[in-house]
Structure 1
Amino acid sequence: MHIDAWIESVPPGAVYALVALIIGVESLGIPLPGEIALVSASLLASHGTVNPVLVGLCATLGAIVGDSIGYAIGRKGGKPLFERLGQRFPKHFGPGQLASAERSFQRWGMWAVFFGRFVALLRIFAGPLSGALRMPYWKFLIANVLGGVIWAGGTTAGVYYLGVVAEDWLKRFSWLGLILAVCLGAGSFLLMRWRASRAHPAGPDPDPEGGAEAEPVAAATE
């Protein structure tokens, strides 16, 4: 079962905790579909099943707390931690992925933590790698909080309002179809009437036997 279908099957009261848990565990450095969970919960909110504000708050809390715990783990375990993780999760923590993430963090510093929240690979690495590279915690915390708030809040709001608009549009689709059909029918009728008037202009029809032209000729001969 996919994560989105699984969330839809969960009781509404447990959706908030589930979103916070999945995003928090992902932020620890464990590859889980946190973004899919957030999008699925936001869509449920657009249907009125859950509260979008609580979804955004839980997602933000999970992101900030998870990243902070991941930072502490990375600071204690250092780079050997990533070597062990690379053996267990080669697709996510392989040497190539680790080298790419490390270059980004060394070049951009705390901005890598902020923008890393919006990139799947860096979202997993952000906390543990920041700790392993000994980034000052206050810098990490600022970038972590800002990234978590904007990512979680922005994603929730965007998906929620998109879902509301889409649902409203689908509800009105039958009326839109009816109005469109009436407009097309009226337009086709007017077009055919206009073309008919151009093909047969109004006025007296000429005499098919030429009688209308005979009288002027006779008068001219007299």
Structure 2
Amino acid sequence: MTDTLLALVPVYGGWILMAVTFLSCLAIPVPSSLLMLAGGAFAASDDLALLTVLASALGGALAGDQTGYLLGRKGGTPLIARLETHERSAGLIARARRMITERGVVSVFLTRWLFSPLGPYVNFIGGAMGLDWRRFTAGSVSGESVWVLI
């Protein structure tokens, strides 16, 4: 799958980066970091425009974050309860819940780039726990901006 996605980057450019970063923010296992690096490499060789790479990756990530938050807000309790039954995600859910409770918007910022495996779960839990949307968005925009620029 990774080979196929990498081959699509020079063909579809920003669209594939947007789709992959969107899906990664919803806990769908796609190689977003690898494709981000490939996008940067294509931009460095002038095969893709740097602004397109940056805007597409940031736009997809922000849309994914907002979708995850909205899913948590609308149906969060049953969704989180379901995710907690899976062995793989139960520990991540517990850590994400603890981070939201203890650090609020700072946890949103940090899980966009530093603790990125927790990011999708913080999106869901932030929405489910009623974290203020403006604060969530501020943490999301600033954190995703750091991730994209790195």
- Aligned partners of 1:86, 1:44: CA distance in 2, in Å? 39
**Equivalent pair of 1:28/1:67 in contact (CA under 8 Å):** yes
Counterpart residue number, 2:54: 56
**Structure 2 counterpart of 1:99, from 94, 97, 105:** 94
Distance change >3 Å, CA 74–CA 11, structure 1 → 2? closer
Counterpart residue number, 1:209: none
- Aligned partners of 1:120, 1:138: CA distance in 2, in Å? 21
Distance change >3 Å, CA 81–CA 115, structure 1 → 2? same
**Equivalent pair of 1:115/1:147 in contact (CA under 8 Å):** yes
- Aligned partners of 1:11, 1:67: CA distance in 2, in Å? 22
**Which protein is bigger by CA-based radius of gyration?**
1
Distance change >3 Å, CA 68–CA 11, structure 1 → 2? closer
Counterpart residue number, 1:141: 137
Q: Over aligned residues, Cα RMSD in angstroms?
A: 1.8
Distance change >3 Å, CA 60–CA 11, structure 1 → 2? closer
**Equivalent pair of 1:70/1:128 in contact (CA under 8 Å):** yes
Query: TM-score, normalising length from structure 1?
Result: 0.61
Tell me by how many angstroms 1:134 deviates: 0.7
Tell me by how many angstroms 1:100 deviates: 1.2
Counterpart residue number, 2:70: 72
**Equivalent pair of 2:68/2:120 in contact (CA under 8 Å):** no
Deviation sequence 1:35-56 (CA, Å, 0-9, x none): 2221222122223221122101
1:135 counterpart letter in structure 2: L
Counterpart residue number, 2:83: 85
Tell me by how many angstroms 1:111 deviates: 0.6
Structure 1: state its 5+ residue gaps. 156-222
Counterpart residue number, 1:41: 39
**Equivalent pair of 1:23/1:62 in contact (CA under 8 Å):** yes
The count of corresponding residues between Structure 1 and Structure 2 is 149
**Equivalent pair of 2:92/2:118 in contact (CA under 8 Å):** no
Distance change >3 Å, CA 44–CA 133, structure 1 → 2? same
1:99-118 correspondence runs (5 A): 99-118=94-113
**Equivalent pair of 2:109/2:142 in contact (CA under 8 Å):** yes
- Aligned partners of 1:39, 1:126: CA distance in 2, in Å? 24
**Equivalent pair of 1:27/1:70 in contact (CA under 8 Å):** yes
Distance change >3 Å, CA 38–CA 90, structure 1 → 2? farther
Tell me by how many angstroms 1:33 deviates: 2.5
Query: TM-score, normalising length from structure 2?
Result: 0.88
- Aligned partners of 1:69, 1:82: CA distance in 2, in Å? 15
- Aligned partners of 1:90, 1:20: CA distance in 2, in Å? 29
Tell me by how many angstroms 1:11 deviates: 6.0
**Structure 1 counterpart of 2:26, from 25, 28, 42:** 28
Deviation sequence 1:110-143 (CA, Å, 0-9, x none): 0100111012312221321110111010111111
Q: What stretches of structure 1 move > 6 A for 4+ residues in a row?
A: none
